[in-house]
Amino acid sequence: MHANKITQLLAVVTAVMFLALFHGLFGPAEPILGPRTGGFDDTVMDSPGLGWPTTLRLGAHNLDEQRAPERSAVTSVLAGSPPAKSNLSRIVVIPSMQEDDIKWIKTELPSLDVSIYIANNPAAPRHPPKNKGHEVMIYLTYLIDHYSRLPDIVLFMHSHRWTHHNNHLLGFDSSQMIRALNSAHVVREGYVNMRCHWSPGCPEWLRPTSAGDSLGKQEEIVLERCWRELFPFDQLPSFLAQPCCAQFALSRARILAIPRSRYIFYRDWILRTPLSDYISGRIWEYSWQYLFTGEGARCPAEHVCYCDGFGVCFGGEMPYKQYWELHDQRTKYAKELEAIPQMESANEGLGWQGDNGTNSISTTDSTNRRLFLRTQIAILQTELDTRKQDAQRRGANPQLRAEECGRLWKEGDGF
């Protein structure tokens, strides 16, 4: 009888020790901010659980019976609280290839901490364990390697300075975007996509589908299977969406809200998945927002993204839309002007119609049309420049910025 009690006691102690060890390895870290429908109030929201299977299987591949973190209870925190300090530390993490021209980083951002990973050079000071999965491998490697020594803000950016998927109002220029990014906005939101424009990526982008209905998005065919492997306890949303193209900023608190073991798990998935680099990278391109916010679709209003994120504030959605209407008209005139020589060489008749649908141009002389187009383009460009400068001045006022974005603000709050 006495021996049985000792045996039972030992069993209880062993179980408690095992649970404590398991929680230390895979338990939740700091609380994560849950989904926010409005994005600018002080409401406390709940967040769906983020979980993994006990054993991960990729098709017929068993990952050595790898033990993955189970679902953890995610605690919500107060949304919209201002950062505790104004001089927030930042670093930019940049994946690159050995042949990339990255001199612009040192030239344009000489005082900024930068961590550059060379994907295709194992001898580089910073390199991933394998050149696979595009930027995903390097982003996760940084989070794993620096989990215990993170700055306040981490920006994940590509190695090219100018690219079509950067923000138009910041010159498509990565250096301008990095300099203009409002660190306080990142602290408030936790996760900020560096691209403001919805297309491509919003309002809906990836949907689980069969091979016959992929519409050119190959990743949709395997989306459901990948989701089960990455988030098996979470229901796949009806669609995934966020502005493209895998450039974003994270607060330190948001990174630490997820245990390091999960980042290792995700990187192991990239390392071992039989999917191509392109497909696995595309899956993650539209999964980051779910990992860090719990939201399948995260598409902030463009004018709010520009205003609170980068200090370009037009005064609301309507004046922002009016700016782009003027921009589209200017683009239309510019394309027509560019096409005139081709029309002349093709010996086609030139008979343009005005905006009211009638022949408002009194002559078909291409010289007159050129003069008209150049004049209109100059007028529109001046107006666009003026409106953009006004928006930047408005964005330099923290109170006006808060009002446009629907945030409460009081004297001393800053940006």
Q: Please compute the mean of the pLDDT values over residues 165-181 and round it to a whole number.
A: 97
Q: Does residue 280 contact residue 184 with C-beta atoms inside 8 Å?
A: no
Range name among 21-25, 48-52, 357-361, 382-386 with the lowest pLDDT average: 48-52
- pLDDT for residue 57 is more than 60: no
Q: What is the pLDDT of residues 298-331, one digit of tens each?
A: 999 999 999 999 999 999 999 999 999 999 999 9
Per-residue 3-state assignment (H helix, E strand, C coil) for 123-185: CCCCCCCCCCCCHHHHHHHHHHHCCCCCCCEEEECCCCCECCCCCHHHCCEHHHHHHHCCHHH
Q: Please compute the mean of the pLDDT values over residues 15-44 and round it to a whole number.
A: 37
User: Between residues 371 and 348, which one has the greater pLDDT?
Assistant: 371
Per-residue 3-state assignment (H helix, E strand, C coil) for 319-330: HHHHHHHHHHHH
The number of beta carbons lying within 10 Å of the beta carbon of residue 290 is: 23
Q: Give the list of residues 6+ apart from residue 315 with CB closer than 8 angstroms, or none.
A: 391, 394, 404
- pLDDT for residue 361 is more than 50: no
**Model pLDDT, residue 35:** 31
Q: What is the pLDDT of residues 134-161, one digit of tens each?
A: 999 999 999 999 999 999 999 999 999 9
